[in-house]
Amino acid sequence: MSMLARGVRGIALALLLATGTVGPAAAKKTPAIAEDVDEMKPGQFRWQPELAPEGPVEIVISLGAQRAYVYRSGTLIGVSTISSGRPGYETPVGRFGILQKKKMHRSNRYESAPMPYMQRLNWFGVALHGGHVPGHPASHGCIRLPPQFAQKLYGVTSLGSFVWVDDREVHSAGKALELARANASTPLGPGRE
């Protein structure tokens, strides 16, 4: 192996270790936040942004499991219970980018209902926001998050941040990230016009 190839290989390995995607440090960090995700009670979440202090944020929503997984630079930094759209008001699935952010928003459709830390996913009234999370789909199509988690998530996202909404039951942080990466080039969901 040439000296140049060894240098490139060393840089690549250092980057992987620094981002927490390989190596013993990552193995120790991920289980603490990802273990027993199925045992979380409605309204519970885990938040450890220090695991990846910088980089792009990706969010995976599992409607089937009523969970949100948040990654920064490919490292899991948050897991939360959610409440998505109830029957007749189903939350749309697909790839979205955050279109608008507002710390305190009121619904234009549903009697000015409060939507703290609103992050709009489409122009048809679907957003991530803080609210009551009863442990089952109960919203008018939005993705409700525990209020403290909604605030924390709001602080790390930016306009255009990637959100993948899937109707399958995803019970693994690794599987959620795999879905996000596999669908990163999927056309954007409805309501982007």
pLDDT the model gives residue 111: 62
Residue 7 pLDDT greater than 80, yes or no: no
Beta strand pairing call for 162-166 and 57-62: parallel
Residue 2 pLDDT greater than 60, yes or no: no
Say how far apart CA 105 and CA 144 lie, in whole Å: 13
103-147 pLDDT per residue, tens: 987 676 666 577 789 999 998 889 999 999 999 999 999 999 999
Residue 164 pLDDT greater than 80, yes or no: yes
pLDDT the model gives residue 36: 84
Question: What's the token pair of residue 53?
Answer: 């202090």
pLDDT the model gives residue 12: 38
What does pLDDT average to over the chain? 83
pTM for the full model? 0.81
Cα-Cα-Cα-Cα dihedral of 60, 63, 64, 66, to 10°? 90
Of 157, 176, 180, 184, the closest CA to residue 33 belongs to 176
Strand order through the sheet with 114-120 = 100-106, 114-120, 127-130, 143-145
